[in-house]
Amino acid sequence: MEPDTPPPPSEHPTLRHRDRRLLGAAAGVAAALVALAVAEAVAAVSRTFQSPVLDVGDRVVDAAPRWLKDLAIDWFGTNDKVALLVGIASILTAYALVVGVVSFTRRLPLALVGIALFGVLGAFASQTTRRQAPFVAVLPSLIGAVAGVVALWGLRRLATRPAEQAATEPASERPTADRPARTARPSIADLVPNDRRRFLAGAAAMTAGAFVVGAAGREARSRFDVGRDRARIAVPGARRPLSPAPTDVAAPVPGVVPFFTPNDGFYRIDTALTVPQVAVDTWRLSVTGMVDDPFELSYGELIDLPLVESDITLTCVSNEVGGNLVGTARWLGVRLDDLLRSAGVSSDADQIVGRSVDGYTCGFPVAALDGRDALVAIGMNGELLPLEHGFPARLVVPGLYGYVSATKWLTEIELSTFARFDQYWVERGWVDDAPIKVQSRIDTPKGLATVDAGTVAIGGVAWAQTRGIGRVELQFDDGDWVEATLAPELNDVTWRQWSHDWEATSGRHTIRVRATETNGAIQTEERSEPFPSGATGRHQIVVIVR
Ligand SMILES: Nc1nc2c(c(=O)[nH]1)N[C@H]1C(S)=C(S)[C@@H](COP(=O)(O)O)O[C@H]1N2
Ligand SMILES: [Mo]
């Protein structure tokens, strides 16, 4: 056959079904990327906007049942947020593939409705997140969806022979009695190889453009990052500074955690997918609710109040026996009782609610303000609060699990009652009064470690904030409990470190630890899950001595 001969009409190279599906899938993904990129770019326009992906992610976090959250933490640990975003990306991709295939094999309008629906979902998420977003927050989703619709429609056009071309077709293609006229509307069946090249070029250009625009949007949004603001603010001094802690509060055994947990190693637990960026110039802390004189403070006014320092061990209720969702810091802040005294708390109020800029809430008894150093903290271990730990201000209440007390990115303290208001985790079944339970942990040796026979240094931490640790004991295999050596107590709201020299004989040994509070209460051996009020049970490890 001569190369230039056009194919006979009967072999006109229409697109086979499989190819349509492939091109449709590619078009779907390209259009989805365009939609997401445009949404990111729009989200970069204003601080009040948010990436729709993150909005949807926040919704998923809030709506996920507890077993799913537990599973996510089990599988992914503190990477659970990354896992969630990867999950959302996978679902988005699958959805885009389906929409694309539908647009190339079935009805284009159906596919366009599919994209529009996705925009509506994003808009819905933006309106129902905890941080009461203004109505304009729907714009990134909606404009992104429009861009996606246009992109998919355009790609379909590129893959389809324009209708006018039908008129200029060779006579052999004109309708005859036995070959009915094609519909005037361009049909996917008309795709010719030349168009396929244009289609692929279009899809590739859209994909590349989406990455550029999306990355530029993310980059532009970073101008709202407050890390630089924070770096410019000097750490204010305390009216009541603490002297440096004595060094002997740390157990003299390598392998035990440092007494003060470094900020960058401090556990982080929150429901925020991205760290809230709170600009100090517009931030306000208000004291509201059942008080005589509600008031509001700017950041400057807050840090000008008398500041105190206090060493406090913070603990997460989700900490498993032996876990590390616990850390100690020297906090700098305003005493909450001082702050509330100036507002005049109603005698009917029994709950102090802390509200975060991201809508998170905690709540704890007014009765917890019994003289302990409950703080509106602005500093941590000699620095301003790190962004992850609640910059510009957070609550820290000694003796209560973080979820009821330690609101980060704090913006409102509301006096209320337990009857009237359930905070974030109480709505999800956790208890509303959550004192920290006594716990102890073996830090060294590590479980399943192999050690040499002879003297083995064992060490760890124990905590019972507000009651204090009076004794720590160890049990080797099924022997008698032996007392470990306690490092001096710094105060009764920090953990206490302990150590013990063990004469290890070869073989496989189980080591258990238990703590006793200064009031005589012994840590129970009864195992219970963190839900709904904190784990109980004793930490034990197995070591191999050779
Ligand atoms: N805004 C906000 N504050 C929050 C949380 C949260 O999800 N959002 N989590 C709480 C929980 S469950 C704990 S244990 C502590 C953890 O504080 P950290 O991340 O600084 O260690 O913060 C508390 N404050
Ligand atoms: Mo927590």
**The domain that contains 391 carries what CATH number?**
3.90.420.10
Residue that terminates a domain, selected from 428, 453, 479 = 428
Task: Verify that 253 and 371 share a domain, yes or no.
Answer: yes
- Whether the Cβ atoms of residue 302 and residue 384 lie closer than 8 Å to each other: no
Q: In terms of Cα–Cα distance, which of 119, 58, 49 is closest to 85?
A: 58
- Residue 119 within any structural domain of the chain: yes
Instruction: Verify that 201 and 124 share a domain, yes or no.
Output: yes
Same domain, 310 and 371: yes
Which is the closest atom of ligand 1 to the Cα of 401?
14
Distant-in-sequence, close-in-space partners of 280: CB < 8 Å, separation ≥ 6:
226, 229, 230, 233, 299, 392
Q: HSE-up of 302 (CA within 13 Å, CB side)?
A: 30
Give 485's strand partners.
499
CA distance 354 to 356: 7
Cα 191 to Cα 146, 365, 423, distances in angstroms: 25, 70, 59
Rg (CA), the chain: 31
Looking at the structure, do residues 394 and 252 belong to the same domain, yes or no? yes
Backbone torsion region of residue 371, taken as left when φ is above 0, otherwise alpha when ψ lies between -120 and 50, otherwise beta: left
Residue 386 lies inside a defined structural domain of this protein: yes
Q: Which residues lie with the beta carbon below 6 Å from any ligand 1 atom?
A: 266-272, 314, 316, 356, 358, 360, 389, 402-403, 406-409
Could you tell me the two tokens for 470? 């009076």
- The answer to whether position 530 is within a domain reads yes
Q: Is 238 among the domain residues? A: no
| CA contacts within 13 A on the Cβ side of 112 | 13
Task: Name the closest-CA residue to atom 6, ligand 1.
Answer: 270
**If you take atom 5 of ligand 1, which residue's CA is the nearest one?**
270
Q: Are residues 457 and 355 in the same domain?
A: no
410-416 and 284-289 as β-strands: parallel, antiparallel, unpaired? parallel
Three-state SS for 145-164 is: HHHHHHHHHHHHHHHCCCHH
3-state SS, one letter per residue, for 375-396: EEEEEECCEECCHHHCCCCEEE
**pLDDT computed for residue 184 by the predictor:** 46
Question: Closest by alpha carbon to 461, among 513, 426, 496?
Answer: 496
Same domain, 262 and 403: yes
For each successive 10 residues of the chain (546 residues), what is the average pLDDT? 44 62 91 94 90 86 83 76 86 92 86 90 85 83 94 87 51 47 52 74 95 94 89 94 96 97 96 90 96 97 97 97 97 98 96 95 97 98 97 98 98 98 94 97 97 98 98 97 98 98 97 98 97 97 97
Q: Report CA(266)–ligand 2 centroid distance (Å).
A: 13
Of the listed ligands, the closest to the CA of 535 is 2
- 89-100 b/e with 16+ CB inside 10 Å = b? eeebeebbbebb
pLDDT of the residue at 105: 82
Q: What values do phi and psi take at 439, rounded to 5? A: -145, 160
Among 58, 61, 73, 269, say which to mutate for ligand 1: greatest number of ligand atoms within 8 Å of CB: 269
For residue 3, tell me if it sits in a domain.
no
Ligand 1 closest atom vs CA 403: 12
Residues 158 and 80 placed together within one structural domain of the fold: yes
Query: Which residue's alpha carbon is nearest to atom 18 within ligand 1?
Result: 268
Atom of ligand 1 nearest to the CA of 267: 21
Q: How far is CA 412 from CA 104, 280, 355, 429, 431, in A?
A: 52, 14, 5, 23, 22
Res 14: pLDDT: 55
Q: Which two tokens stand for residue 114?
A: 């599919």
Asked if residue 93 lies in contact with residue 29, where contact means CB atoms within 8 angstroms, the answer is yes
**Pair of tokens at residue 463:** 């905590």
pLDDT at 161: 64
Residues 56 and 148 in one domain: yes
Query: Alpha-carbon distance 143 to 138, whole Å?
Result: 9
**Does one domain contain both 497 and 393?**
no
Q: What angle do CA 525, 531, 537 make, to 5 degrees?
A: 10
Residues 6+ apart with CB under 8 A from 45: none
Ligand 1: atom nearest CA of 425 is 12
Indicate whether 175 belongs to any domain.
Answer: no
454 and 412 within one domain:
no
Which residues lie at CB < 5 A from ion ligand 2? 269, 316, 402-403
Q: How large is the angle between the packed helices 108-128 and 17-43, nearest 10 degrees?
A: 30
Q: Contact 479/502 with Cβ under 8 angstroms?
A: no
Residue 492's CATH number: 2.60.40.650
User: What is the pTM assigned to this prediction?
Assistant: 0.86
Q: What does the alpha-carbon distance between residue 54 and residue 274 come to, in Å, rounded to a whole number?
A: 8
Cis peptide upstream of residue 386 (ω within 30 degrees of 0): no
- Counting from 1 in the atom list of ligand 1, the atom nearest the Cα of 269 is 19
The closest of 230, 333, 222 to 283, measured between CA atoms, is 230
| Residue 262 per-residue DSSP state | P
From 375, 370, 364, 371, select the one nearest 417 (Cα to Cα).
364
Same domain for 274 and 335, yes or no, is yes
Alpha-carbon distances, residue 91 vs 32, 52, 288, 317 (angstroms): 12, 14, 42, 32
Note down the domain range covering 251.
Answer: 247-428
Answer for the pair 430, 403: CB distance below 8 angstroms, yes or no. yes
- Domain for residue 228, yes or no? no
Q: 240 lies in a domain? A: no
Atom of ligand 1 nearest to the CA of 356: 1
Q: Residue 35, Cβ neighbours under 10 Å: how many?
A: 29
Q: How many domains does the chain divide into?
A: 3
Closest to 390 (Cα-Cα) out of 266, 509, 502:
266
Among 73, 268, 364, 403, residue to substitute to test ligand 1 (most atoms within 8 Å of Cβ): 403
Asked if 269 and 385 sit in the same domain, the reply is yes
Of all protein residues, whose CA lies closest to atom 21 belonging to ligand 1? 268
Q: Which two tokens stand for residue 83?
A: 């896992």
